[in-house]
Amino acid sequence: MNNIEKTMQFSLGDDREQEIRYIVLTVYNALKEKGYNPINQMVGYILSEDPTYITTHNNARSLIRKVDRDTLLKTLVKYYINN
């Protein structure tokens, strides 16, 4: 009866946050490479959800559209507060 099984825990949230971080950094770098102000362009996208704020360079536009705008905002605010 002393045979206690330990339960492994994992969180999909951590993986999703890492994926969002990768996407944000990739989009940021693509915008920078194309000569845009990445912060202004990303804010424009977040406020309007208009994908034309994001370049197609390095597949950035497709990547950013994989993240729901509310999830993106939540993740960015959470990161800012925790750091």
Residue 10 scores a pLDDT above 70? no
pLDDT 10s digits, 18-66: 999 999 999 999 999 999 999 999 999 999 999 999 999 999 999 999 9
Q: Reduce the secondary structure of the chain to three states and give it as a string.
A: CCCCCCCCCCCHHHHHHHHHHHHHHHHHHHHHHCCCCHHHHHHHHHHHCCHHHCCCHHHHHHHHCCCCHHHHHHHHHHHHHHC
Where exactly are the structural domains of the chain? Answer: 14-82
Residue 2 scores a pLDDT above 70? no
What's the pTM value of the predicted model, to 2 decimals?
0.80
In the prediction, which pLDDT does 13 show? Answer: 62
